[in-house]
Amino acid sequence: MTNTYVPDRAMFIFAHPDDIEFSVAGTAAKWARHGCENTYVVITDGNAGSHEPNMTRGQIGHIRREEQAAAAKVAGATHCIFLGYDDGSLEPSLELRKDLVKLIRQHKPNAVVCGDPNMFFRGERLNHPDHRAAARATLDSVFPTCEMRLLYPEFEAEGITPHKVNFVYVSTDQELNHYEDVSESLETKLLALKEHKSQIGDNDYSDRLRERAATVGKQVGLAYAEAFRRFTITPLPQPEEEKSA
């Protein structure tokens, strides 16, 4: 299905700098353009993401944080939060779940966007294990943990109260049921991706990503689209459902 719903607040939770730009930044940029307060949560610093012989983990982590912050600004994100976990060894731990629950309760998103915890392959490529770990931790945080008052009651002393998320958008190619029209925001997505200079180098992924978005869009009669498996956790009141882009 497609619709024109735009959340008031959305949280995009992914493992590495550049994960959002490669996958769902068209949706993020579109929602931001129509008034959504987007929060990016980047769990690791991507601090193993360099093949340069003299690069250290600290150096590449710093570079990638700066690149991600710049990319988030291009796409209109309100917040870009880094949790500082190590790249390449991420696990869906209780520690990570607690960190994510706290952020969800603080920012109170209507929609949470993440990857697919069950995706071992994406097309002809192997999926990074950090991607699966980040997705599983996110889903475990969204439901039921972040809405349960007796879980992490210590947050209430900081004024951080339980929160019910309305929708989860899982970026996947399996069992798709929702398509976001990104025709108006695809070029912004491509500009945001170009901020990740340490990762893309001289490569230009624009044609590849346009082709991917066109292929997805063709399935539902759109010029360009991003696809999701969308879950309704807590239905919105009808007037909110009618809010449109």
DSSP 158: G
Q: What is the pLDDT of residue 131?
A: 96
What is the reported pLDDT for 199? 87
Q: Please, what is the end-to-end C-alpha distance for the chain in angstroms?
A: 16
Residue 72: exposed, middle, or buried by beta-carbon count in 10 A (0-12, 13-18, 19+)?
buried
Closest CA to 151 of 195, 197, 97, 79: 97
* Token reading at 93: 């731990």
Dist CA 207 CA 209 (whole Å)? 6
pLDDT digits (tens, 9 = 90+) for 86-117: 999 999 999 999 999 999 999 999 999 999 99
Sign of the CA dihedral with 208 first, then 213, 219, and 222 last? negative
Which pLDDT value is given to residue 3? Answer: 62
What is the 3-state composition of the chain as percent helix, strand, coil, each rounded to the nearest 5? 40, 20, 40
Q: For the whole model, what pTM was predicted?
A: 0.93
Q: What pLDDT is attached to residue 201?
A: 85
The whole-number pLDDT of residue 121 equals: 84
CATH of 9-241, one of 3.50.50.60, 3.40.250.10, 2.40.30.10, 3.40.50.10320: 3.40.50.10320
- pLDDT number for residue 4: 81
Structure token pair of residue 168: 């989860």
Q: Where are the domains of the chain?
A: 9-241
Average pLDDT value for residue range 214-231: 97
Model confidence at 52, pLDDT cuts 50, 70, 90, reads confident
